[in-house]
A = this chain, B = another copy of it.
Amino acid sequence: MKALLLIAHGSRRSPSNDEVGALAARLRDGTAEMNFDLVEHAFLEMAAPDIAQGGDKLIAAGADEIILLPYFLAAGAHVAADIPAEAARIQSRHPTVRITIAPHLGAADEMLSLLRDHLRRFVER
**Number of copies of chain A assembled together:** 2
A interface secondary structure, majority: helix
When distances are taken between beta carbons in the complex, the residues of chain B under 8 Å from A8 are 73-74
Q: Taking the complex as formed, is A60 at the interface, i.e. its CB lies under 8 A from any CB of chain B?
A: no
For the complex, give the distance between the alpha carbons of A72 and B106 in Å.
10
For A, the interface residue count at a CB cutoff of 8 angstroms equals 48
User: Quick one: CB contact mask for A100-123 with B, threshold 8 Å, 1 for yes?
Assistant: 001101111011111111111011
A51 at the interface (CB under 8 A from B): no
Residues of B within 8 A of A122 (CB): 67, 69, 102-103
Q: Can you name 6 A-B residue pairings with CB atoms under 8 Å?
A: A27-B112, A27-B119, A67-B119, A67-B123, A108-B114, A114-B114
